[in-house]
Amino acid sequence: MSDIRPIHYKIHLEPDLAKFQFAGKLELVLAVPAPALEVSLNILDLAIWKCGLMGQGHEEACAFSVDPRKEELRIFFPRQVSGEVPLVIDYVGEINNRMAGFYRSRYVRDGKERFAAVTQFEESDARRAFPCFDHPAMKATFEVEMLMDGGLTAISNTAVVEERPLEDGRKLVRFERTPRMSTYLVFFGAGEFEFIQDPGEVLIRVAAVPGKAQQGKYSLEFLRKALTFCEEYYGIKYPLSKLDLIAIADFAFGAMENWGAITFRENLLLHDPEKTSKAGEERMCVVIAHELAHQWFGNLVTPEDWKYLWLNESFATFFGYGVVDHYYPEWDLWEQFLQGQTEVALDRDALHETFAIEIPGGDHVVINASTAPIIYNKGGSVLRQVEGYVGKEAFREGLRLYLRTYQYRCASSRDLWEALEEVSAKPVSKMMSNWIGQPGFPMVTVAREGGNLRLTQERFTYLNAPSDQEWLIPVSVRVFYGDGQSKETATLLDAKSAILDIGAGAVAYKVNDGQSGFYRVRYRDKDNLKELGRQIASRSLSAVDRWGIQDDLYAMVKRGDVKIEDYLDFLFHYSEEDASLPLSSIAANLHQTFILREGSFRQRVASVGRTLFERVLETIGYEPGRQEKHTTSILRDQILWQAALYGSTKAEEFCMTQFSLLLKDQKVHPDIQKSVMQVGASCGSQGTFEWFLGKIKFSESEHERMNMLVAIGCFKDREILERVKRYVLEEVPDRNKFIPIGVMSENLIAIPSLWDWYQDNLMAFERFHPVHYERVIASLVPICGLGREEEVGNFFQEYMKKQEKLKDVVKLSLERLGIHSRMRHS
Ligand SMILES: [Zn+2]
């Protein structure tokens, strides 16, 4: 990187939605500290007409060259220049259909196909829309103006300062200058947007295509709450005068935190009381809170390199749950965090093929299927551990100090630790570098030696390999005594092994009390596990601990330390279980075992699942109750489908009765629509598939459409599944193609044909959005590769030679395949 830096970008854009093209004129002011003859900018897929130096009233032409491979534009000055240097660049580009850069989003209005032009730049796609220094540390100010069809509406990061109609029917819209910010956070869009708004100190709005903005009310109300919380907690006001949440029909990710103009998939922003489930509502709130947290973590203080991306995503993940929990404590979000974030992270990070949270050597690190569970899920979980270690107060004060010190600038991991260390007076740097800087996580093995526990740590991986890594582990233990009493004791495990005195009278002990630590526990002492089983059955242990014990045990099964039979036997202690967290986790573990094992063992798993879930459904009711807990509703939708899958006639009959209502266009409660449709499809005929096709085509709700795309992956008829596959490749919009594919890769009837299908349609898959293609590989390979491991391995060995970018996801998928093969044959 040379010393030349950007100061200000003035971007003039003329989008043409009929031709899917845009013309651009960029006026870029550079800071050139030492005399220079040239400058390099990033560009991709733009055609440059001319470059010039701006002087007093005239423009001096500059020679230039473009290197598409390096994504680079080199501009040669006519002579040496220094100081503040104003450049001007004229160019054109395509409003593409790749959901990256400046792209078109398709929707249907009054039966007609329509488009909006919008942007998605993280992490390196701003260069597809304007020449720039496309790196987060190269902050500058931006002024956007758009010359466009007079009937359209423009949105950008800041408020409009001028809107002027022109004689030719077009109009010019100019936006306020932004604060200093990074290129990946710039947004501009032009389309038929409609708004609802809440004019407070900061004007907040929801934008959507015509007819849908009213569905943004739920989000807008929650946004106002979340904004109040964030400003208070971070101690810094939101700095812009407006904040828009924008629903985009075609969107590759969940949402994107562009400063002042946050974009969302429609299902995460628009709410329909008849279609949106409680799970859907929670997800909307968590994502809004996540993106709002980014307005501070990421937008105000930005990672100085992509390798510190966790400074954005871990905090946004953590606060995504924290903010919602503050307003809706009855939703039990921190319990859901354990399964949705921590459990996923523990599973991902138990592979050899993993990364440190601070990803090493990343000049061009991408958020991909391989890194996301580490940066988001593990990072968020480790922050929860740190908050527990320094205390809530010190944690908040440390973050305030960090944000205040680095606002409008960039920061690295160390800057954060130092702030936390300064306010907490605890050795945070040592602990954080330990957890953020190395890959993987520990397993703590516990053995009883009289009145003591011997704790030993080693790295936990499913496939064995020696490692001498160590962690600083805050270990908490709940000790149970014969008189029914229990007490918590804690230690900091800072060596390979340590002794903890628990006294002679202890009858049992539960390590990782409250499950705030990010590690697995292995109990050497079988009697202790038995006693813990009794504590589970009598529910003297908390739901969180009941979850942790069985999930650690299942992880030992995957590691090959414990037999799956022993795990199934242990589930006996959960016969009367009534809490959602352990039940939902058991459901996921059983489902995986059901798919991986074959023959009579599969039938045994089905029988365990059927008995357990029928009992739970009898207790909570098949129909959603009026006043029930959120977690109950969410659990029901999960286990209704699974109970039917495992042969429960009661669950199947209930769902089919409900499904017949859907077929007649009658109401079904949104909290069971997904499972009802899944069962409906799994028992369905060609006629049922036709019904789904019609319904998907005309549905106004993306939430409902996504449920239906899940359902069509559940058909059991082979001929229908062939139609589903063709439909996915030919007709499902790109943003959603990965959904039915993921479901089919868990469908026992579909699985045997999927690998060949993938091979036969390789070119079609390669046209998927890169992140979606990775998801497809990650869901297909570990299961559909079973029984043909060698063939799959050989294929990827060759394929990697031309698809190098896929190597992370391929390696992790092949490792999972190895683990699954072992589980199948153990
Ligand atoms: Zn994020």
291 is a catalytic site residue? yes
Max Cα-Cα span within the chain: 91
263 CA distance to ligand 1 middle (Å): 12
Could you tell me which of 705, 692, 614 has the C-alpha nearest to residue 659? 692
Q: What is the reported pLDDT for 365?
A: 58
What are the backbone angles phi and psi of residue 778, rounded to the nearest 5°?
A: -65, -30
Confidence of residue 385 (pLDDT cuts 50, 70, 90): confident
Per the document, the length of the chain is 826
Distance 320 CA to ligand 1 centre (A): 9
Terminal-to-terminal C-alpha distance of the chain = 53
CA of 347 to the centre of ligand 1 (A): 21
* Bridge partner residues of 164 (DSSP): 172
> Hey, is 70 helix, strand or coil?
coil
For ligand 1, the distance from its centroid to the CA atom of residue 452, given in whole angstroms, is 44
Burial string for 73-89 (b: 16+ CB within 10 Å, else e) reads: bbbebeeebeeebbbbb
- Whether 269 contacts 232, CB under 8 Å: no
Q: If you average pLDDT over residues 12-23, what whole number do you get?
A: 98
Residue 351 in this model has a pLDDT that exceeds 80: yes
Q: In angstroms, what is the span from residue 622 Cα to ligand 1's centroid?
A: 36
Name the 3-class secondary structure at 691.
helix
Residue corresponding to tokens 């947004």? 187
Alpha helix (H) ranges present in 450-579?
526-537, 543-559, 564-570
Percent of the residues in the chain that have a pLDDT greater than 90, as a whole number: 92
pLDDT of res. 433: 86
Mean residue pLDDT of the chain comes to: 96
Ligand 1 center–CA 387 separation, angstroms? 20
Query: Residue 77 carries which DSSP code?
Result: E
Which pLDDT score, from 0 to 100, does residue 484 have?
A: 82
Instruction: Report CA(545)–ligand 1 centroid distance (Å).
Output: 29
Task: Kindly state the tokens that stand for 226.
Answer: 């979340």
In which band, very low, low, confident or very high, does the pLDDT at 360 lie, cut at 50, 70 and 90?
confident
Confidence grade of residue 164 (pLDDT, cut at 50, 70, 90): very high
Q: Residue 123: is the preceding peptide bond cis (ω within 30°)? A: yes
Q: How confident is the model over 457-486, as pLDDT tens digits? A: 999 999 988 899 999 998 999 999 988 899
Cα separations in angstroms, 346 against 53, 423, 551, 555, 808:
54, 30, 10, 9, 18
Quote the ligand 1 centre to 315 CA distance (angstroms).
9
Instruction: Tell me the CA–centroid distance for residue 287 and ligand 1, in Å.
Output: 8
Question: Which pLDDT score, from 0 to 100, does residue 95 have?
Answer: 98
Ligand 1 centroid distance, CA of 284 (Å): 14
Residue 439 gets which letter from DSSP? S
- pTM beyond cutoff 0.75: yes
Residue with the two structure tokens 């279609």: 275
Confidence of residue 783 (pLDDT cuts 50, 70, 90): very high
- Angle at CA 687, nearest 5°, toward 683 and 691? 95
Predicted pLDDT at 489: 93
185 Cα: distance to centroid of ligand 1 (angstroms): 12
Work out the percent of the chain whose per-residue pLDDT is above 70.
99
- Mean per-residue pLDDT for 235-250? 98
**686, containing H or E segment:** helix 686-698
Q: How far is the CA of 188 from the centre of ligand 1 (A)?
A: 19
Residue range 777-802: mean pLDDT, rounded: 97
Question: Does 359 have pLDDT greater than 90?
Answer: no
What local confidence, expressed as pLDDT, does residue 364 receive? 54
Task: Report CA(256)–ligand 1 centroid distance (Å).
Answer: 7
Contact 571, 795 (CB under 8 A): no
How many alpha carbons fall within 13 Å on the CB side of residue 312? 27
Q: Is the pLDDT of residue 700 over 80?
A: yes
Give tens-digit pLDDT for 644-659: 999 999 999 999 999 9
Ligand 1 center–CA 14 separation, angstroms: 30
SS3 110: coil
Predicted pLDDT at 361 = 65
Provide the pLDDT for residue 367.
81
Burial (CB count within 10 angstroms: exposed 0-12, middle 13-18, buried 19+), residue 170: middle
pLDDT digits (tens, 9 = 90+) for 708-737: 999 999 999 999 999 999 999 999 999 999
Catalytic residue among 122, 145, 266, 291: 291
User: What pLDDT is recorded for position 363?
Assistant: 55
85-132, pLDDT tens digit by residue?
Answer: 999 999 999 999 999 999 999 999 988 999 999 999 998 999 999 999
Among 139, 231, 234, 230, residue whose Cα is nearest residue 185 = 139
Which pLDDT band holds residue 826 (cuts at 50, 70, 90)?
confident
Where is average pLDDT lowest: 232-241, 396-405, 420-429? 420-429
Give the distance (Å) from ligand 1 centre to CA of residue 580. Answer: 27
Backbone phi, psi, residue 376, to 5°: -85, -65
